[in-house]
Structure 1
Amino acid sequence: MRYSEFWSLVDDVYGEGYGRTLVGTQVLTELGSRTAQAALDAGVEPRTVWHALCDAMDVPDSARWGSDRYRQAPPR
């Protein structure tokens, strides 16, 4: 997953305002008790961060890939 795909999904799944806030404030134990932004800044793959964020927010698999029904779900 590219960074641009990550941010597109954040905006699509969570909404632009809330999603950007969530990435900067939600602490993810799965990523070493860092925020999604801190994990990205530390070089963690966007795909890994995306799955951790969705897991923490209880987003079902069917809703993780936004409104584009043709988007391929990135493997874990």
Structure 2
Amino acid sequence: MRLTEFWDRMDRHLGPAYARTWAETQVVEQLEGRTVIEALADGEAAKTVWRAVWAHLQLPPADR
């Protein structure tokens, strides 16, 4: 997954105005207690981060 697809999905589920703020502030346990921004900056694959976000938000299986 490319970062552009990752951010498109984030915008779709959280809204374009809130997605970046959420990614900067919400600590996700599956990302070892990091935020989305921290995990991406640390080199985690966008797909791995998306799956953690998907689980954290309890999104439907179709959105995985």
Establish whether TM, by shorter chain, passes 0.5. Answer: yes
Higher helix share: 2
- Indicate the structure whose relative CO is greater, using CA pairs within 8 Å and at least 6 residues apart: 1
The two structures, once aligned, show a CA RMSD in angstroms of: 1.2
Q: Deviations over 1:25-74 (max 9, x none)?
A: 11011111000110000000001101101111111123x2xxxxxxxx6x
Larger radius of gyration: 1
Q: Which residue of 2 aligns with 1:70?
A: none
Structure 2: segments with no counterpart, 5+ residues: none
- TM-score (normalised: structure 2): 0.89
Counterparts of 1:5-44 in structure 2, within 5 Å, are 5-44=5-44
> For 1:7 and 1:18, how far apart are their aligned partners in 2?
11
User: How many correspondences in the alignment?
Assistant: 64
* Misfit runs of 4+, over 6 Å: none
